[in-house]
Amino acid sequence: MKPPILLTSYVFPEVIELLQQHFDVDDNQRREAFDAVSLRARLRDKAGVLVAGGDRIDEALLDACRDLRAVCNAGVGYNNIDLDACTSRGILATNTPGVLDDTVADLGFALILAAGRRLTEADRYLRAGRWGRWSNDLLLGMDIHHKTLGIVGMGRIGRALARRARGFDMQILYCNRSRAPEPVESALGARQVALDELLAAADFVCLTLPYSAAVRHLIGAREIGLMKPTAVLVNIARGGIIDENALAAALREGRIAAAGLDVYEGEPAVNPALLPLENTVLLPHIGSATRATRAAMGLCAARNLVAALSGGTPPNLLNPAALSRRRG
């Protein structure tokens, strides 16, 4: 008998086909919305689960799901999973790093362009029938080329973003817990600086760092106050890294020029203070949203799940300490 698993969100057919070779699959191709109660009920008798970032895997759920042996996230971020709770129960947890780096970096640079050149504002202006004649000062944005890009978090996505910025002859500063290897710095033309220096010097600030409780509201009123009034803030990491109330106030009062956001602290809810602001580009967490990349993420998560439930070590294991305690 095949182990039963749950898929909490829609996945592409090739992912289902791979999983059905190994498991009794309870899928969610109808795109049902699982609240905490319904997720617990569906997961109660399952050996594994493939989850999306919006699914919270916490102690209460794990206590109700005694047969669960693996939690595989279809995404690189995993702040939706209580990793310590999984480890203490011998439940293997995985993510999907690497397969989405370039796609997310593409979206990050698109936000830099859109916010800097006021593209969505211009689109709304035209569609509203407000464009009556050409004007020398109509919807003036800022140049991207030759400007300074500050990258907060110089991991795989941060480096991919820096490679794109090189094509625009941008100066690149970065802030990271550890210094990038010298060959990486040299190839990217990047220089490590402290966060405050980066915020004060950069024309565009892009957040690409992993989320943890330690970086919640890392960018707050004080940090935004260090930025140039002409600066643009872009977030493709996690919403909680920015104090959104402080950001909305700064944008409303013109203390920074614009923001491009793909992630939000309470998503899918968006801070209502952001919604009326013309100088924001707001996207519904679509950083990895191409057919090819989302399929690759699903297949990566599926392979992690196959390895975890067949007694192997998943390629992208987040909690190796759980191996010695693993269930089953």
Q: What percentage of the chain's residues is helix, strand, coil (to nearest 5)?
A: 40, 15, 45
**What letter represents residue 306's amino acid?**
V
Which residues are catalytically annotated?
Answer: 238, 267, 285
Residue from 312, 302, 321, 300 nearest 97 by CA: 300
Which among 21, 125, 103 has a CA at the least distance from the CA of 293?
A: 103
Which of 88, 43, 38 shows the shortest CA–CA distance to 68?
43
Distances from the Cα of 190 to the Cαs of 64, 203, 210, in angstroms?
Answer: 48, 15, 20
278 touches 248 (CB < 8 A) = no
Per DSSP, the chain holds a count of helices (H) and strands (E) of: 12, 12
Residue corresponding to tokens 């939706």: 80
Q: What's the angle, vertex CA 271, arms to CA 266 and CA 272, rounded to 5?
A: 145
- Separation of first and last alpha carbons in the chain: 15
